[in-house]
Amino acid sequence: MILIRTLALVSVVTILACSAASPSFARPWRMGQMDDTGITQLGVDIQGAGSTPENIREFLAGLPAGQAPTVRTACEYTVAHQVYQDQDVLSFCLAVARAR
């Protein structure tokens, strides 16, 4: 009985440790709240980016050289791990995928 409880406790602790260490879990959080600006996840403030493919293309074209591919890569990650993302950031990243 003690062995079963010990194994169960070790399993729970291992699962919690892995979840806390996962970048997809920890990345979008800032001081306990989701970051809806995109700065934490994407490295840019997306609040004025718009939502149409044309708006997104203009926004990405206006970024400093080399930053648009970084944002696209971060958006691919965001879309792949949707359950952990802020809705505004996820909507932007879905629009980036459609704007290609």
Could you tell me which residues come within 8 angstroms of residue 56 by beta carbon, excluding any fewer than 6 positions away?
A: 49, 50, 92, 95, 96, 98, 99
* Model pTM score: 0.64
pLDDT at 93: 93
Residue 88 near residue 28, CB atoms below 8 Å: no
| Structure confidence at residue 97 (pLDDT) | 92
Which sequence spans correspond to the domains of the chain? 27-99
Residue 30: per-residue pLDDT: 44
The 10s digit of each residue's pLDDT in 6-44 is 544 445 445 545 444 444 444 444 444 667 788 888 899
The sign one gets for the Cα dihedral 67, 72, 75, 80 is negative
Per residue in 41-81, pLDDT (tens digit) is: 889 999 989 888 899 999 999 999 899 999 999 999 999 98
